[in-house]
Structure 1
Amino acid sequence: MPAAVTRAARAYVRWVDRLSDYVGIVAMYLIFLMIGILLLDAIWNNVIGFPIHWGIEATQFALAAYYFMGGAMTLKNNDHVRMDLFYDRLSVRGKAKVDLVTMVCLLFYLGVMLFGSISSLQYAIETNERRFSMWNPSMIPIKALMAACIVLMILQTVSLVFKHIATLRESKAP
């Protein structure tokens, strides 16, 4: 493989890994936002006696953002759930081969998810979709975040493909 392609792949992997880390760190801090909203809701409802109608829904949106934003970092750090009946017994090269097959399946799945999320976002924009509740928040921001985070997960999956290919090339070399 030409050196320019290898340099470009390495730069891509570094850039996407760094972006996944930044987004994942922001996601980690969302837990404090959720705690704060629920604490505020409990205090206002139980101590002051004035319920906040947006508290639970805001926490649900923050939780959805937490899951979406944490996906790419979870992939990058290999912290996802894996059924490894045989995987642990494989060589480094064998694991890379299995992971490449898994990445192809994941890319297909994420492509379907991206198609659905873009369709859902378009619908939300066209109809000014709102959640049916007292607070009545717009669904556009969370759906846009979902689509963006799926794109980031696709970018991270491609980064992992490059890493697994590099592992196969390194283990093949004498």
Structure 2
Amino acid sequence: MTGILRGFIRGVDAVNQRLGRVVMYGIFVLMGILLWSSVSKTFFLPSLWTLEMAQFVMVGYYVLGGPYSIQMGSNVRMDLLYGGWSDRRKAWFDLITVCFLIFYLCVLIYGAVSSTAYSLGYWKDAPFSFLFGVLTGAEEIGRMEQSSSAWRPYMWPIKVVMIVGFVLMLLQCLSELFKDLLRLRGETV
């Protein structure tokens, strides 16, 4: 059983580390978009797409970089008490708090899947089966949701990015949970 846990931890950590190292350069994409927005507003006609594209890039940067942040332990912590605790006590505390985070991520994934199904034109009550049907070709896409801005991009791509990011974050939280369990058993991770 320990071998399976270690394999899961290695696999999830490797995927999130590689993706996180790529996504962290998204800040430069965001800066480029905002720079172009400033230049186009000053010297040319203002671009309609820049503000909303900057928001989309920021969502991708934040959501896809979240698992890497959790893995590196760079998320915000209250070190007032936590910093002085023993490794075993930290593992217990992390084990409890990661369970709350896993529940929260499950709720977020459900909401993201429902929202994505809606953006693809589905208004019924089975969004998971609809998205699975879309992927397998069994379901037809309806009238797709577009933004209400002047640019009017389709909303489903950023919603799919959110689903991927939340699932990766859930997998990273499970990896952290398994690391805490191994630490509590006295094993090195």
Task: Give per-residue Cα distances to partners, 1:62-96, cap 9 Å, x unaligned.
Answer: 01111101110111011111123322222110110
* Superposed CA RMSD: 1.2
| Number of matched pairs | 166
2:78 aligned partner: 83
2:35 aligned partner: 39
Letter in 2 for 1:27: V
Q: Return the alpha-carbon distance in structure 1 between the equivalents of residues 76 and 38 of structure 2.
A: 34
Verify: 1:14 aligned to 2:2, yes or no. Answer: no
| Residue segments in structure 1 that go unaligned for 5+ positions in a row | none
2:135 aligned partner: none
Question: Which of 94, 109, 117 matches 1:114?
Answer: 109
Letter in 1 for 2:177: V
Letter in 1 for 2:62: Y
Superposed, 1:95-106 pairs within 5 Å as 95-106=90-101
Verify: 1:144 aligned to 2:140, yes or no. Answer: no
Q: Return the alpha-carbon distance in structure 2 between the equivalents of residues 112 and 131 of structure 1.
A: 24
More helix per residue: 1
Identity among equivalent pairs (%) = 39
2:88 aligned partner: 93
2:57 aligned partner: 62
| Residue segments in structure 2 that go unaligned for 5+ positions in a row | 122-142
Task: Give per-residue Cα distances to partners, 1:10-65, cap 9 Å, x unaligned.
Answer: 11111111111122122211111111112222222212x21111011111110111
TM-score, normalised relative to structure 2:
0.84
Range with bigger deviation, 35-44 or 120-129:
35-44
Letter in 1 for 2:35: L
1:72 aligned partner: 67
Q: Return the alpha-carbon distance in structure 2 between the equivalents of residues 152 and 102 of structure 1.
A: 18
SS in 2 for 1:85: helix
